[in-house]
């Protein structure tokens, strides 16, 4: 057999599908030290090792055995080939023609081609299965990554919304603090003015007493007494958008049933208009009216009312002279419930 014919038997030799004579000839050729055939044998053996993992067990067609047996029409030669002695030199040369008679008819390669195609199909199938598994894994990883990215984007939007809410609350808190500070400043200013008026009244009263006259009890004097009364209730009023700088303090003495309203920085009353004070429970009830003239920064309004403990809010609106039975004009001062 020539080297090309022996080289074609290497795939079948790797899977143990050669007949005895062919196997012996291939053994002798491999023992002779052919490098290319040794390399091809290692490659085919590696491929044959993974065949069980790539092939699917399928029952063969019934006609396949008859076809394979029919392809092997040449009966085996009666003269069996003797195995070479271990002491004989196995160098390549024409001595192989004595080992296998040249007159032997060439073998039929149909079975070899079938086995070779099966091996190639197994390798291709294993490669395709591996590529399919890899592609599936990549698709799952990509989908999972997209889900994580969507979750991260949702979390970022939630964090942004929370930060916006926190900023809005901080702004509202700062505004409330500024309003509280402004009201405290107005109350402190009102308290200073009341203390000053009380001192003036005390001086005037002492001077009048020294002259032998009877002390005159003014509204400021009554207000000073109210501030010291344990029966007094106080409610702060703040200016609306119409008069943002205005403020007021409403006091009521449950013992004397008198109410005091001290206002600061209310605008001057226009001609034909007056300020009207309202106490509201379910419906607003008029307590009285007063006017602020040009140049006045404060005003003291005193009146007697039988009972308004059920009132929860107080307000001051601008109404026509004489007042109204229900608020119709803009509100300048308003107390929280």
pLDDT in tens, 52-73: 666 666 777 777 777 777 776 5
Q: Which CA distances in Å does 69 have to 60, 108, 109, 168, 192?
A: 14, 11, 13, 91, 126
Evaluate whether 280 touches 315 at the Cβ level (below 8 Å): yes
Closest by CA to 223, choosing from 200, 247, 246, is: 200
Confidence of residue 160 (pLDDT cuts 50, 70, 90): very high
Q: Which residues of 22-41 are buried (b: 16+ CB within 10 A; e: fewer)?
A: bebbbebbbebebeebeebb
Half-sphere exposure of residue 286: CA atoms within 13 angstroms, side-chain side: 16
CA quadruple 218, 221, 222, 224: dihedral, nearest 10: 160
Return the number of other C-beta atoms located less than 10 Å from residue 54's C-beta: 18
The CA distance from 316 to 250, in Å, is: 11
Check whether 149 has a pLDDT greater than 50: yes
In degrees rounded to 5, what are phi and psi of residue 324? -125, 165
Q: How many CB atoms are located within 10 Å of the residue 268 CB?
A: 12
Higher pLDDT, 217 or 50: 50
Name the residue with higher pLDDT: 263 or 56: 263
Q: 0.85 cut: is pTM over it?
A: no
Which of 65-79, 145-159, 251-265: highest mean pLDDT? 145-159
- Write the CA distances from 197 to 202, 209, 264, integer angstroms: 9, 18, 15
Other residues' Cβ atoms within 10 Å of the Cβ of residue 55: 14
8 A C-beta contact, residue 312 and residue 280: yes
> What pLDDT was estimated at residue 337?
61
Which of 238, 234, 264 has its CA nearest to residue 252? 234
Say which residue, 17 or 72, is predicted with more confidence: 17
Cα distance between residue 293 and residue 271, in whole Å: 10
CA 246/CA 61 separation, integer angstroms: 106
- Stretch 219-246: mean pLDDT, rounded? 76
What lies within 8 Å, CB to CB, of 125 at 6+ separation is: 54, 55, 56
Whole-number Å distance between alpha carbons of 17 and 109: 12
Q: How much is the pLDDT for 333?
A: 92
Q: What is the mean pLDDT of residues 180-185?
A: 83
């Amino acid at each position: 057999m020539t080297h090309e014919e022996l080289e074609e038997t290497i795939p079948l030799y790797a899977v143990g599908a050669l007949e005895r004579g062919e196997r012996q000839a291939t053994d002798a050729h491999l023992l002779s030290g052919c490098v290319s055939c040794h390399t091809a044998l290692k490659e085919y053996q590696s491929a044959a090792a993974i065949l069980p993992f790539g092939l699917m067990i399928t029952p063969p067609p019934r006609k396949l055995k008859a076809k394979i047996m029919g392809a092997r029409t040449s009966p085996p030669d009666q003269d069996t080939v003797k195995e070479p002695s271990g002491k004989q030199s196995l160098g390549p040369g024409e001595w192989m023609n004595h080992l296998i008679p040249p007159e032997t008819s060439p073998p039929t390669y149909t079975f070899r081609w079938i086995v070779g195609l099966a091996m190639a199909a197994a390798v291709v199938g294993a490669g395709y299965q591996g590529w399919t598994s890899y592609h599936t894994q990549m698709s799952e990883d990509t989908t999972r990554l997209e889900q994580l990215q969507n979750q991260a984007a949702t979390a970022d939007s939630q964090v942004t919304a929370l930060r916006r809410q926190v900023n809005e609350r901080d702004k509202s808190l700062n505004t409330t603090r500024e309003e509280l500070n402004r009201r405290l400043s107005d109350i402190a200013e009102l308290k200073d003015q009341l203390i000053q008026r009380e001192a003036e009244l005390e001086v005037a009263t002492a001077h009048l007493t020294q002259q032998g006259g009877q002390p005159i009890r003014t509204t400021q004097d009554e207000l000073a007494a109210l501030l010291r009364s344990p029966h007094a209730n106080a409610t702060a009023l703040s200016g609306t958008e119409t008069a943002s700088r205005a403020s007021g303090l409403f006091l009521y003495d449950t013992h004397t049933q008198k109410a005091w309203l001290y206002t600061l920085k209310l605008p001057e009353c226009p001609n034909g208009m007056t300020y009207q004070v309202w106490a509201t429970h379910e419906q607003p009830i008029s307590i009285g009216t007063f006017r602020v003239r040009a140049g006045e920064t404060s005003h003291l309004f005193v009146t007697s009312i039988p009972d308004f403990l059920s009132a929860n809010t107080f307000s001051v609106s601008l109404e026509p002279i004489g007042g109204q039975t229900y608020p119709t004009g803009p509100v300048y001062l308003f107390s929280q419930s």
